[in-house]
């Protein structure tokens, strides 16, 4: 696999090559934001907001704001996958799903502004969902696993046959979310956090969008070469024809240098099986740019 271990110029060149490969746009104009409701919680407020993706598709997100203190950070929180198509941002909010995935509420209680959007194919962005579903989770129609899987599969497959990529769409939507977060917070230090699917997207986003000042990705750093060797299933957004002939996840990590990154993996998790090796491979780029990444295993 190709590697880039040189200066900041080399890292910028690598980033530009990956962006070009994925056909990502260079600019991210901030979309207009609509506030659709607010709930008061313990130590923070949670607002439902709506804005449009670059292609005009509507996106729902939760905005978390600390109460009683000025927000000291602005963080994009990306939900996991877990084949639970009916939930997305609501799990980040702690309204359903795994309580350990409630990053939004936890970070807001600690003084951060947090934006948690639905990824395409999840929660409000399924074909059977409508606006406003997130404020009343108990009223939301549950989607069967097979229905949700098919919808998400089509999001990937229909793009492939037209020369597009699901990952391009996912990253472009996250770039729009960063623009919204910047507009609302006026912060120049935007962070991104995610687990599993959300962690993979966080790594791509941080690598390719320099507006991300710091990144935390758990259960997600695993090379294509290791996944293919172990015959580990590929999440559909990772199906990028020809990508692993030119790039891999250690290249994404290099593209984040010298910004801060925190990579977390478990010793028995196939979805982050070689995270330590990836960090070791990417380390020279951080060393040469005078800032070391943090790593926990």
CATH number, domain of 255, equals 3.40.50.1820
**At residue 133, does pLDDT exceed 80?**
no
Tell me which residue range forms the domain holding 56: 8-296
192: β partners: 76, 215
Q: Which residues of 195-232 are buried (b: 16+ CB within 10 A; e: fewer)?
A: bbbbbbbbbbbbbbbebbbbbbbbbbbbbbebbeeeee
Residue 3 within a domain: no
Residue range 26-71, pLDDT digits in tens: 877 889 999 999 999 999 999 999 999 999 999 999 999 999 888 8
Distance (Å, whole) CA 279 – CA 36: 41
**At residue 146, does pLDDT exceed 90?**
no
Residue 90 within a domain: yes
Structure tokens at 246: 């030119």
Residue 2 within a domain: no
Domain count, the chain: 1
Residue 125 within a domain: yes
Residue 206 within a domain: yes
Residue 1 within a domain: no
% pLDDT > 90, the chain? 78
The whole model's pTM is what? Answer: 0.90
- Please report which confidence band the pLDDT of residue 156 belongs to, taking 50, 70 and 90 as the band edges: very high
User: For 256-261, what is the mean pLDDT?
Assistant: 94
Summary mean pLDDT of the chain: 89
């Amino acid at each position: 696999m190709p590697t880039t271990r040189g200066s900041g110029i080399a890292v910028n060149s690598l980033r530009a090559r990956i962006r070009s490969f994925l056909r990502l746009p260079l600019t991210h104009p901030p979309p207009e934001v609509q506030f659709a409701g607010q709930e008061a919680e313990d130590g923070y407020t949670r607002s439902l907001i709506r804005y449009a993706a670059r292609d005009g598709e509507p996106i729902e997100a939760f905005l978390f704001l600390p109460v009683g203190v000025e927000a000291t950070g602005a963080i994009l929180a990306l939900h996991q996958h877990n084949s639970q198509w009916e939930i997305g941002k609501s799990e980040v909010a702690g309204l359903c799903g795994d309580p350990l995935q409630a990053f939004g509420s936890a970070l807001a209680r600690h003084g951060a502004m947090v934006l948690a959007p639905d990824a395409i194919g999840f929660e409000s962005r399924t074909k059977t969902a409508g606006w406003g579903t997130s404020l009343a989770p108990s009223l939301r129609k549950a989607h069967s696993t097979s229905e949700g899987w098919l919808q998400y599969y089509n999001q990937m497959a229909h793009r492939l046959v037209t020369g597009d990529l699901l990952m391009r769409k996912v990253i472009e939507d996250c770039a729009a979310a960063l623009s919204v977060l910047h507009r609302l917070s006026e912060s120049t230090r935007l962070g991104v956090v995610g687990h599993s699917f959300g962690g993979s997207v966080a790594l791509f986003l941080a690598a390719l969008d320099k507006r991300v000042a710091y990144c935390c990705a758990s259960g997600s750093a695993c090379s294509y070469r290791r996944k293919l060797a172990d015959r580990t299933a590929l999440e559909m957004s990772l199906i990028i024809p020809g990508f692993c002939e030119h790039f891999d996840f250690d290249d994404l990590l290099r593209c984040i240098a010298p910004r801060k990154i925190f990579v977390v993996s478990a010793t028995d998790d196939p979805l982050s099986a070689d995270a330590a090796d990836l960090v070791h491979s990417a380390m020279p780029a951080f060393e040469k740019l005078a800032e070391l990444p943090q790593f926990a295993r």
